[in-house]
Amino acid sequence: IRPMTPIGPIIDKIYKTSSLVKNVELVGIYKNRATLRLTFQDPTKNLTSENISQIRQKITNITVSE
């Protein structure tokens, strides 16, 4: 995320990547870098790394492009 980029719209985009994204929390900002904590949840099954790897890649693409 580039310096001075508003975090709110990025968090909104992250929520829209998947219904499995249940919470996005801004943990902190240090030297113009934002740290986000993401919570993924599926009410019907336990999630594995494979389940969320594509979602994480989409989120990474969003944050890199901003």
The mean pLDDT of 45-62, rounded to a whole number, is 93
Find the farthest-apart pair of alpha carbons in the chain and give their distance in angstroms, rounded. Answer: 40
Number of domains, the chain: 1
3-38 pLDDT, tens digit per residue, is: 778 899 999 999 999 999 999 999 998 887 889 999
pTM of the model: 0.84
Residue 25 lies in a domain: yes
Whether 1 maps to a domain, the answer reads: no
Which residue range(s) make up the domain with 55?
Answer: 7-65
**What Å distances lie between residue 28 and 18, 32, 58, CA to CA?**
23, 10, 21
pLDDT at 1 over 70: no
Measured between alpha carbons, how far is 58 from 54 in angstroms, rounded to an integer? 6
pLDDT band at 42 (very low <50, low <70, confident <90, very high): very high
Report yes or no on 45 lying in a domain.
Answer: yes
Please tell me the predicted confidence (pLDDT) of residue 34.
85
Does residue 64 register a pLDDT over 90? no
